[in-house]
Amino acid sequence: MTQSQALAGSDIPDASSSGQSSAVGRLACARLTLTDFRCYDQVRLESGTQPVVLTGANGAGKTNVLEALSFLIPGSGLRRAKLMDVGRRQPGEDAGRPWAVAAEIESGLTSVSVGTGLEAATGSKRVVHVDGETQKAQSVLSQHFAAHWLTPQMDRLFLDGSQERRRFLDRLVFSFDPAHAGRITSYNHALRERARLLADNKMDDAWLSALEDTMATRGMAVAAARLQVAERLAGACTETSSLFPACELAIDGLAEGWISALPALEVEDRLRAALKSSRTKDSHVGGAGNSIDGRLPHQSDLLVTHAAKSMPAGQCSTGEQKMLLVGLVLAAARLSASDEGRVPVLLLDEVAAHLDADHRQALFNEVLALGCQAWFTGTDVELFAPLQGTAKFYDVADASITDMTP
Ligand SMILES: Nc1ncnc2c1ncn2[C@@H]1O[C@H](COP(=O)(O)OP(=O)(O)O)[C@@H](O)[C@H]1O
Ligand SMILES: [Mg+2]
């Protein structure tokens, strides 16, 4: 199979001819084809539009399937892997092969073929196809697919440093406002350029001011988008009779704090002034804003509080933290359904096993009520018994996947 055949992933004619319109409705990956992806040589799932349960022993290849789906949105997937590490590697091979993930994405009445992978020619570039046509940028993926994920690594989200929480929030923001990613990229680019100039002691005021201007304007937009989504999400958490605990969300950040009290232009001016005044210190310690009392947009933190207990998430029990996360992701899916008319796919890696029976049932009920295609993984198929008759069941073993749907 050639790379482009692998990316097209389908020998069945496609229902939508243009593939250009924004996806609306309930998103589902109806067919998934993996080629040289992680442990898989070649595998195809006719997953349909219902929820999917993947069960199998540790190391069988379950998370790899969810990771493949996570590459259908822009970014580096749920493991934040290097593209080269994703390609299948056999013992003795030190580099992974060019890999491909192809999917038939259904969204209500339309369907589109989306493919992505590591370009065989360069061995380093990510390539994206939509309905067989190579796309200029991976950002086009967000027109066709949206997914949220929870992984076992995220169990420490409320305990570790701010970076993961910021990333979690930014991914949620991105799902509502795809331009968010571009603003963060240009902010980070200016941040790195400025740090490089300062490290080299090039105190060129015009150059530094131009970079700080980019950081201020993009940083202001990033902060405003975060605040808006955090507010809407917290609202979506409380507006239901969900069994999952509602949370309050706040953002600890200079710009995020100023926005509620000051006009946008003034927030930008303050960011510019803060950056300018910290040049000398930043030239000694590197980065930006380390000498400023408060967090610049690349340092902001998401503060989550268990609303009913008025307790910071980091002080809640491990089980409560898990439920807060599930509640947040379900709230994001509901919000997207009500406000954008599109229900994202959920990738729930090892989530069911960590919930008590009532909350597991509540999760299944909420997923079914939303009509959302959730992909569940676990080692024990019994836990998913309530989904018999509504979900597709797959057994994963030794890098092969068997349809066990009764
Ligand atoms: N690039 C790769 N090439 C071949 N195998 C890989 C690659 N990356 C990961 N694997 C293998 O994939 C297997 C399955 O991983 P994973 O999907 O995380 O299992 P689990 O079912 O526990 O979620 C692991 O045994 C791992 O060694
Ligand atoms: Mg796993």
205 and 254 share one domain: yes
Q: Which residues contact 201 (CB under 8 A, 6 or more apart)?
A: 283
**How crowded is residue 380: how many other Cβ atoms within 10 Å of its Cβ?**
10
- Residue 59, ligand 1, Cβ within 6 A: yes
38 and 12 share one domain: yes
353 and 297 share one domain: no
- Residue 195, ligand 1, Cβ within 6 A: no
Residue 293 lies in a domain: yes
How many domains is the chain partitioned into structurally?
A: 2
Check residue 290 and give its pLDDT.
81
- Tell me how far the alpha carbon of residue 191 lies from the centroid of ligand 1, in angstroms: 35
Closest C-alpha to 377, from 52, 120, 87: 52
Closest C-alpha to 65, from 91, 39, 88: 39
**How crowded is residue 94: how many other Cβ atoms within 10 Å of its Cβ?**
6
Check residue 16 and give its pLDDT.
32
Residue closest by Cα to atom 11 of ligand 1: 39
Residue 319 lies in a domain: no
- Tell me how far the alpha carbon of residue 72 lies from the centroid of ligand 1, in angstroms: 19
- Tell me how far the alpha carbon of residue 64 lies from the centroid of ligand 2, in angstroms: 7
Residue closest by Cα to atom 25 of ligand 1: 59
- Tell me how far the alpha carbon of residue 310 lies from the centroid of ligand 2, in angstroms: 33
Which of 311, 327, 361 terminates a domain? The answer is 311
Which of 311, 334, 357 terminates a domain? The answer is 311
For residues 271 and 216, give the distance between their C-alpha atoms in angstroms, rounded to a whole number.
Answer: 5
Angle CA 63–72–149, to nearest 5: 45
Closest C-alpha to 225, from 171, 306, 288, 296: 171
State which ligand 1 atom lies nearest to the alpha carbon of 67: 17
Check residue 5 and give its pLDDT.
45
Check residue 13 and give its pLDDT.
27
Residues linked to residue 27 through DSSP beta bridges, in sequence order: 107
- Residue 60, ligand 1, Cβ within 6 A: yes
Ordered DSSP codes for 310-331: TEEGGGS-HHHHHHHHHHHHHH
225 and 306 share one domain: yes
For residues 337 and 370, give the distance between their C-alpha atoms in angstroms, rounded to a whole number.
Answer: 8
For residues 118 and 14, give the distance between their C-alpha atoms in angstroms, rounded to a whole number.
Answer: 23
Angle between helices 205-238 and 162-176 (to 10 degrees): 80
Residue 339 lies in a domain: no
- Residue 62, ligand 1, Cβ within 6 A: yes
- Tell me how far the alpha carbon of residue 21 lies from the centroid of ligand 1, in angstroms: 35
Residue 385 lies in a domain: yes
State which ligand 1 atom lies nearest to the alpha carbon of 65: 17
Q: Give the helix ranges, DSSP H, for 200-317.
A: 205-238, 254-259, 264-277, 279-285
Residue 337 lies in a domain: no
Residue to mutate (ligand 1; options 40, 64, 66, 398; most atoms within 8 A of CB):
64
- Residue 55, ligand 1, Cβ within 6 A: no
Judge contact between 247 and 324, C-beta under 8 A: yes
Residue 323 lies in a domain: no
54 and 108 share one domain: yes
CATH number of the domain where residue 87 is located: 3.40.50.300
66 and 36 share one domain: yes
CATH number of the domain where residue 244 is located: 1.20.1050.90
69 and 134 share one domain: yes
Nearest ligand, measured from the Cα of 83: 1
For residues 327 and 172, give the distance between their C-alpha atoms in angstroms, rounded to a whole number.
Answer: 13
For residues 250 and 198, give the distance between their C-alpha atoms in angstroms, rounded to a whole number.
Answer: 32
Closest C-alpha to 23, from 171, 170, 140: 140
Domain of 277? 162-311
Residue closest by Cα to atom 18 of ligand 1: 63
Closest C-alpha to 111, from 67, 160, 49, 63: 49
244 and 295 share one domain: yes
For residues 198 and 383, give the distance between their C-alpha atoms in angstroms, rounded to a whole number.
Answer: 56
Check residue 132 and give its pLDDT.
96
- Residue 93, ligand 1, Cβ within 6 A: no
For residues 355 and 251, give the distance between their C-alpha atoms in angstroms, rounded to a whole number.
Answer: 28
286 and 175 share one domain: yes
Check residue 89 and give its pLDDT.
93
- Residue 398, ligand 1, Cβ within 6 A: no
Residue closest by Cα to atom 16 of ligand 1: 61
Which of 292, 311, 330 terminates a domain? The answer is 311
The number of angstroms, rounded, from the C-alpha of 71 to the middle of its chain's C-alpha atoms is 9
For residues 106 and 104, give the distance between their C-alpha atoms in angstroms, rounded to a whole number.
Answer: 6
177 and 273 share one domain: yes
The per-residue pLDDT string of the chain (406 residues; one tens digit each, 9 = 90 and over) reads 444 444 443 332 222 333 333 444 999 999 999 999 999 999 999 999 999 999 999 999 999 999 999 999 999 999 999 999 999 998 888 888 999 999 999 998 799 999 999 988 888 899 999 999 999 999 999 999 999 999 999 999 999 999 999 999 999 999 999 999 999 999 999 999 999 999 999 999 999 999 999 999 999 999 999 999 999 999 999 888 889 999 999 999 999 999 999 999 999 999 999 999 999 999 998 888 887 889 999 999 999 999 999 999 999 999 999 999 999 999 999 999 999 999 999 999 999 999 999 999 999 999 999 999 999 999 999 999 999 999 999 999 999 999 999 8
Report residue 286 as tokens.
């590197």
State the residue for tokens 């090892």. Answer: 350
For residues 249 and 329, give the distance between their C-alpha atoms in angstroms, rounded to a whole number.
Answer: 13
238 and 297 share one domain: yes
Residue to mutate (ligand 1; options 35, 37, 38, 395; most atoms within 8 A of CB):
38
Check residue 20 and give its pLDDT.
33
